Every structure is written in C-alpha cells, then in structure tokens.
Amino acid sequence: MVKNPFEIRGLSMIKSVVSRINLVLFFISTSLLIVLLATVGCKKKSSGGDYGLKKSETLRVRIIGEPPTLDWHKSSDTTSSFIITNLMEGLVQFNYTGPEVTLSPALATSWESSEKAKVWTFQIREGVKWSDGEVFEPKHIVDGWERLLNPATASQYAYYLYGIKNAKAYNEGSLKDFSKVGLELKGNTLKVTLEKPMQFPFMLTHSSTFPVRTDIVNKYGDQWTEPQNIVTLGAYNLIKWEHDKALLATANPLFFDRPAKTKNVVFYVIQETQTAINLFDAGKIDAIRTLPPQDIPALKRRKEYIDYSILSTYYYGFNTSKAPVDNPLVRKAIIHAIDRSQIVKMMQGGQKPLSGWIPFGMFGYDPSVGLAFDPVRAKKLLQEAGYDESNPLPKIQLSFNTLDAHKKIAENVQAQLKENLGITLEIKNEEWKVYLETLKVNPTHMFRMAWVADYPDPNNFFEIQLSYGNNNRTKWKNKEYDKLIEDAVAIIADKPKRLEMYAKAHKILVNDDAPVFPIYTAVAQNLIADRVVSFPTNVMYEFRLKNTSVQ
Amino acid sequence: MNIAKLSFGQVFTLVLSGTILSAVVLNLANYEVPAGLMLAIGLELVIGLSVFAYLNNSVIYCLKRIVEAFITLLVIATFTFALLRLMPGGPFDEEKALPPEIKANIEKKYGLDKPPLTQYLNYLKGVATLEFGESYKYIGRSVGDIISESFPASFVLGLYAFVLSFVIGIPLGLFAASRHNTFWDNLAMGVSISGVALPNFLIGSVLIIIFSYWLKVLPPALWDSPIYYVLPVVTLGVRPAAFIARLTRSSVLDVIGSDYIRTAKSKGLSNFTVLYKHVLKNSLIPVLTYSGPLLAGILSGSFVIEILFAVPGIGKHLVQSVSNRDYPLILGLTLLYSVLLVVSNLIVDLLYSFFDPRISLA
C-alpha cells in the first residue's frame, strides 16, 4: 500500500479498525469478557483497609516494618517479638503492678529453687490447649528448648539457656546427646539443673524460651509460621499475614487465661512515621509506639502523647586500648566536662540523665554513683594526665551510626568539650552495618551505644562489661569487677548482700576506671488514641495487648 | 461488519485492547485480575512484537539484541555480587554481638562460610534456574516470593502513573507549543517546571493535606481498593508528566517549522488537523526515547512514594535490602530491574521504526 510518508502506521491501523468494526460491538464483547471473568474467575478484593472488621471490636496498631520472622526461636528484633508475645506465652510472664517488675505464673503455675538456686523446679499448668485443639504437654517446653539450643537452628538467642547444665556444649556441637542437658521431666514437674546458681526464671520471659510444636515445624519447614500453619497458645491467634502490608490476629477462644479484651488486632506495616501520624489523625490507626526524636517537641503538645522511662540506657563507650583514652584520667576528665542535663534538655523527651550504669527504675539504680558535671575537676584531671597548653591532648574521634538524634547529641558533646575542657572532638557517622563492623574491628576513641534490658535485673547490664563479654567493645578488663558480677548473680535470696556487691562493682565501673560514659535512661514515646484503654506502657517496653480494650 | 475481511493487524489490535481494557476495568472495580489474563496480555505483546519484527525484517536485529541482553545481565550480576562482598558489614551483624559459635552456625546455614568463588558459582547456578534462594533477613521467605508479593502493587502504581503522565503530558506540551510565546505557553511551562523541580514527597504531602485532611475525600495512605490508588498515582505521575510536556513541546516546535507541515497547511487543512494529525505523530520520537527507561524505573517502584503512602511495593525492598546486606534479595531485585530496563529499551528501539518509517533497524 502506498502510504502517506508521515502517517503513523499504528494509529492508522486503529483508525481503520474503528471504522470497519462497529465500536459498539467491540465494547459489548469486551464487557462480556469482563463480566465472565468477574463472575467465574475472579474474586472481589476485601474492601476498605479494615478487613471488614467492626471498629468497636478492633485495635489497630502500627509496626515500623515487616517482621523478619515469627519463629520465636529465630527472631531477634522488637517488631517480631511484639507480635510473638501476643500470640504465645511462656512459663512465666512479667507483672508490672508493683513498684518493681516481678514474675507471675503463665504456663508454669509455681516454681521454687533448691540447692542455693542451682536447681529450679517448675509445676506446669494442666488443661492448656494449643490453637489447633491439641493438648499442651510439658514436653513441648523441653522440645522448644532443644530446638533453641540445637546448633542447626542457628538461633541468635541460644545463649539465653546457657545457664542450664551442658546447654552451651550442646549448642556448640561438642555434646550430641540432649538428654545429658540438665532437664528432668516427671509428669507435670520440670526440674532444671543449672551450671551455677542464677535467677533462672527471669530468662523464661523471653520469647526464645517459649514451647513449640515440633510436629508442626517438621511438617511445614520454614513456612510453619504462615497463618494457615502456625500453632500457638497465647491470647491471640494469627489469622492473616499480608507480607509487608499488615497482620490480623483475633482473640483465642481456647486461651487458658482470661480472654483478650479486644476481639481483633490489626498490625499495619507503616515505615514512615509521618504517614502513620496521618493515618492516626484520619482515625485509621490507634497506636504508634515509636516517634522520631526531632518531632517530639511538636508531638508532645498532643493529648494522645505519652512518654515513660524504660529499662534502657544510652551511653558512649571508650576504646580503652587506644591512646590517649587508654589513660583513665583522660576518660574521667572527659566525663566530668560534660553536662548531661544539657543533652537531656535538648532532646525534650523526658529522658533522665544517668551517671551510673543501671537505669532508673531498676533494682541497683543509684543516682549518687558515677562522675558528675564538674569542669574544674575535669581540667585538673587532664593536667594530672600530663596535658596542658604546651602539650595539648591529641584529637579524639567519636563515631555513631547515622541518625539525626545521635548527631545532635554528638554535636552537643563536641561543643561542651571544646568549651569546658578545650579539647577537640572529631565526630563521624557511618551507615548502620558499617558502624557495627567498625565496632567489631577497630572502635574509635569514643563510640555511641545503647542497651535495652532483656530482663529486669542488674546482671543483664553489668554482664555487658565483663572482660569476656561479647558486647564489651571497650576492651576494658578488670578481674575484681568480673568476680563481683559472677558472684552476685548467684545470690538469689539475700538482696542486701547482692546490692552491696553491685554497689562495689558499680563504683569500679563508673567512678574508678570509667571505660563508659552513661548519658541517659531512655524513654518510650507513644501516641495512643483516646478510644484505647489500658495500652501497655511498662518499663520492659513489652506490648502485650490482652488487657487493652477499645471504646 | 466485514469480519471476514479483517487483517491480522486489526484483529491483533482488537484483542489486545480488549484484554487490556478488561484488566483495567476489573482492577478499578476492585476485582483481582486473574493471572491468566495478565499472562494472555503478555503473550499477545510478545506475539505482536515478534510478528512486527518479522514483517520488518528486523528478526536478526532482535535476536542480536536479546543475546546482548543476556550478556549484559551476566555482567550486572557479577558486578553486584562482587560489590556486595566488598561492602563492610555483613548480613548477620547486630548491635548485640552474636557469640562466635552461633554466628558460625548461621553463616554455615546460608553457605557464607564457603570460598567466594564457590559462592559465586552457586549463585550463577541459581540465577540460571531462577532460584534466587531465601532472604537472609526474612526467614522462610524466598526471594521469588518476596518479589511476587510486592511487585504487583508497584506494577499497578507505576503503570497507572505512566499512563497518567502521557495523558497529561502530551496534550499539555502540544497545547503549549500551539500557543507558543503566549501567556498560556508560559503558564503551562511554569507548571511543568514546578512538576520537575518540586520533590515528589512535597507534592504528595500537599495533596494529602488537601484531600485527606481538609476535604476528607481520600485516604492518606495504605493500599487497598482503587480509591487508595488516586493520590500515590497522581503524585508519582506528576514529574514524568512534566518532563513529557516539555519534551513534546520542544519537539512539536521543531516539527512545526518543517516543510511538509507548511505543505499541509497550504493544502488547506485546518489547524486542528495539522496539529493533531501530522505534527503530533512526528514529534513523539523523543518522548518514546524517554519512556523506555521511564517505564522500567516507574515499574520497579518509587521508594519515596511507597514509603509516603505505605504502599506494599518493591521500592522499599530495593533500598532496605542493601542496608540489611540481604545478598539474595539484592541480587534478585537488581536482576529484576535490569531485565525491565533491557526489555523496555528493546521494545522502544523496535517501536522507533513503527513510529517513523524512515528509521530502519536491520
């Protein structure tokens, strides 16, 4: 065909089609196709963002990302543990009703220690059912612990049970026979023999020690946590999991305790906090658990805002093998030169300054221990170390992982050190994983760290700084400190004696040697909608929703 | 109705537009589009393009390009693999340090204890069989699952934004060119400059304020029924629309001065006919060039839009997988994006000859 050279072939094709075939016929046939597919092939998607649930029966909470896993023997992040602690129970649970956090029965009805806390005996609750109707048996606890300690599981929290006799050897692979691990099950009684005395029940609040149905795990492999496969026994059952989007849980009718107060919980995956706040304002979600520090001054004025101290600390560590901070006098001079209250005031979040190692709210907290702000003394100590105008302190570096809040604090410390001590602090930030690598290989003179309590006991904090502690990046070693901590953990009943030992260790750590510079006790900051009653706000930063109701 | 006299081209266009129209209507009526329908559309496109290539004697060219594509993908895969291993920080580094025995256990499970060359060969084997392995971060989820679960949302978002950008961009550019150097031209170009210059999270936030906070007619975020599509699609489509408007305008101004247009006008054709029938068709080449990479980029998810509107798409994974050092996912996503890019470029190159018969590929 001879075509007009500047006509586009495609358009002319469509044109000729339209002119040849009745346009109406085309649309009729397409519509028929659509109707056919709609009725026969496709299903209508659930409408609205609420899964068709009644708002009066549903609590909507925001989670900051997709849970990497709901397998409680493999999870290690707060989002996963938030959901898991609502789906499952362990032998014991936290009790927040008193001034100090204690333990209440859960799957264990009672427990006692003998042989000076080297042996613990638990009575296991009867009449508990898993979500698939099967009876819960004490052996499921032992199965769970075996799975946690089995090297093939490669669980990050296997060390939680290292207190049990031979558990470490089993996890390292040197012991192959699990029956040699210190567990004895007789009927409804579980007897646990430890390597040495310790507060063992505290470890059992952690989700990694929860029981498991190995038959389900073996049947479905890594997909066993999908909603159609998973079997749990907590207050809520997992009904739906739309990856990267949301999870839906409904109250477990077979729960052994009081039924959950709110029938449905939807966990929405919303990474950006401002987006979560937009949805909060539109009435689409009821609770936001983490808020960006830079927005706190504005958010604080809202009536839905709440903040409360949690058992977590923010501190700077010193690399005690790197000059000039290998000299304790220099470290102490630096700490004395910084006014913590200035930092806390800048954060505006209600954080409490901390000069000791144990956070506010925990047994062993002591506001009088540690090095207070004293610029005069700081200068004196620096001179004692041999530094003055003619021999100035060489430049030291502070590193932290890239985050606005960390940068603000670092800049404040940098300014204070310049003003109060006349020394130069160089600050640098690195991307998270790069930062962790630096900490492992060659930490800078000072580096930013934080610690969130795994259980509400000072041992969890003190053991960080043991000379052989995995999390001790300061390279500080002190045999006297080690002995005090190792001995104190074995004392269960004699609280005053324990406190005395911890007081000694505390002084060595933050007064005498000062390999760390504690800054503040952290706070949790939430936005909770008015319609929510009794949202869990506790020092352990644990969010069990079974007692939360909505209006 | 002379059904019998239809040519292949006409039947093909009919079937293709029919299936695409059904898919769009179903999607907007909040039905799940069956995978079979999507597959049929894909098949129709492949058949259409192959027949077109055959008719144009560019089959050899096509095959050459496909072989080049495979080589390109292999090089990309190798580079990505190498760069990942060179990055400091591994997938299993956490703030609370892992006891060394446990870390060793985990690394053994994922084959990270083997020498790099073995890991590379295993990886290549996996790519060839389309088995990208399991994510290091999301336990139990295969890379294939993650991609197939997240990609549809990004695809729908990107496709609608892509279409929207043409629907707005081309008429706007054409309009501006036809009113060249008047107030309307300056206004249109002013609007499109803002579309390019303003960050899309700013445009998105303003739209959220207007439509979710003040007027309360649209939801501020999440991704469910089609009403949730509106704000993200518009926000994502604004910048490409602005680009296309500018490209169209400058190309049209270029074409409008040429001889054959003067011939058409002197023949007595109306301004409208000249503009929309002759000028427009010939100005679309630059737009076509732009739309290749645009399609690939817009389909693989816009990170900012997806975060702002909490859309469960693939953009988030593109960024986070790197922070997580999730090697299998990073490699799977890089290859996905590369494939999209390579295919889009190939289609665009083939379409050049379709739009301008003066261009021959063979």
Map A441-465 to HEC letters. Answer: HCCCCEEEEEEECCCCCHHHHHHHH
Please report, for residues A171, A207, B86, B284, the alpha-carbon distance to residue A157 in angstroms, rounded to integers and kept in the order given. Answer: 11, 10, 28, 60
Evaluated on CA atoms A478, A479, A485, A488, the torsion sign reads negative
Residue B290 domain-assigned (yes or no): yes
Beta bridge partners of A246: A242, A268
Phi, psi angle pair for B114, to nearest 5°: -80, 160
Phi then psi for residue B112, to 5 deg, are -85, -5
Mean pLDDT of A172-197: 92
Residue B156 in any domain: the answer is yes
Q: Say if CB B231 and CB B157 are below 8 A apart.
A: no
Domain final position from B30, B55, B80 = B55
Residue A288 reports pLDDT greater than 90: yes
Residues 6+ apart with CB under 8 A from A521: A309, A310, A311, A312, A313, A351, A352, A354, A359, A360, A361
Q: Mean pLDDT across the stretch A182-196? A: 94
At A49 the pLDDT is: 59
Give the up-direction half-sphere exposure of residue B291: CA atoms within 13 A in the CB hemisphere: 25
Give the Cβ contact number of residue B182 at 10 Å.
Answer: 11
pLDDT tier at B19 (50, 70, 90 boundaries)?
confident
Instruction: Looking at mean pLDDT, say which of A110-114, A224-228, B358-362 comes out highest.
Output: A224-228
Give the tens place of pLDDT for each residue, B185-211: 999 999 999 998 999 889 999 999 999
- Rounded to the nearest integer, the mean pLDDT of chain B is 85
What is the per-residue pLDDT across A119-152, written as a single tens digit (0 to 9) for each?
Answer: 999 999 999 999 999 999 999 999 999 999 998 8
The minimum CA-CA distance between A116 and chain B, rounded to whole Å, is 28
CATH number at residue B206: 1.10.3720.10
**What is the structure's pLDDT at A4?**
42
Cβ <8 Å between B6 and A275: no
Q: Do A431 and B323 lie within an 8 Å CB cutoff?
A: yes
The answer to whether residues B149 and B298 belong to one domain is: yes
Complex ipTM tops 0.90:
no
Q: Among residues of chain A, what percentage have pLDDT more than 90? A: 71
Unique residue bearing structure tokens 């018969």:
B357
Are B89 and A437 inside 8 Å of each other by CB? yes
**Quick check: A431 contacting B, CB < 8 Å?**
yes
Question: What is d(CA A542, CA A312) in angstroms, rounded to the nearest whole number?
Answer: 12
Give B308's DSSP letter.
H
**Mean pLDDT computed over every residue of chain A:** 90
DSSP letter (8 states) at residue A374: -
Residues B174 and B299 in one domain: yes
Question: CA A551, CA B20: separation in Å to the nearest integer?
Answer: 46
Nearest Cα residue to B314 out of B343, B341, B334: B334
The answer as to whether B204 is a domain residue is yes
The number of residues in chain B equals 362
- Could you read off the pLDDT of B25-45 as tens digits, one per residue? 888 888 888 888 889 898 988
Q: Please tell me chain B's helix, strand, coil percentages from 3-state DSSP, rounded to the nearest 5.
A: 75, 0, 25
In a domain, B135, yes or no: no
| Number of domains composing chain B | 2
* Domain residue limits at B157: 143-355
Read off the tokens for B98: 């892992």
Q: What is the DSSP string of A6-49?
A: TS-HHHHHHHHHHHHS-HHHHHHHHHHHHHHIIIII--BPPPTT
B13 in a domain, yes or no?
yes
pLDDT band at B325 (very low <50, low <70, confident <90, very high): confident
Q: Token pair 């020092």 is at which residue?
A: A539
Q: Is residue B67 part of a domain?
A: no
- B19:A33 CB<8 A: yes
**pLDDT category of residue A101 using cuts at 50, 70 and 90:** confident
**What distance in Å separates the CA atoms of residue A48 and residue B247, rounded to the nearest whole number?**
39
Q: B146 touching A, CB under 8 A?
A: yes
Residue of B nearest to A173 (CA): B101
**How much is the pLDDT for A15?**
61
- The percentage of chain A sitting over the pLDDT mark of 70, rounded to a whole number, equals 93
- Whether A323 has a pLDDT exceeding 80, the answer reads yes
Query: Does residue B202 sit within a domain?
Result: yes
Residues 212-251 of A with CB under 8 A from B: 221-225, 242-245
Adjacent-strand bridge partners of A190: A122, A185
As a whole-number percent, the residues of chain B with pLDDT over 70 amount to: 93
B residues 230-289 lying closer than 8 A (beta carbon) to A: 260, 278, 281-282
Determine contact, residues B317/B329, Cβ cutoff 8 Å. yes
Could B281 and A25 be called an inter-chain contact, meaning their C-beta atoms sit closer than 8 Å? Answer: no
B89-133 pLDDT tens trace:
778 777 666 777 777 777 877 778 888 888 888 888 888 888 888
Å between A314 CA and nearest CA of chain B: 13
User: Is A73 in the B-facing interface, judged by CB distances under 8 Å?
Assistant: no
Round to whole Å and give the CA distance between A506 and B236: 56
CA dist A302 and A285 (Å) reads 16
Rounded to whole angstroms, the maximal C-alpha distance in chain B is 86
Cβ-nearest to B26 among A5, A42, A450: A42
Cβ–Cβ under 8 Å, residues A136 and A128:
yes
Residue B201's H or E segment, with its range, is helix B200-208
Residue type for position B101: E
**Assigned domain for B93 exists:** no
Q: Do B39 and B150 reside in the same domain of the chain?
A: no
pLDDT at A331 over 70: yes
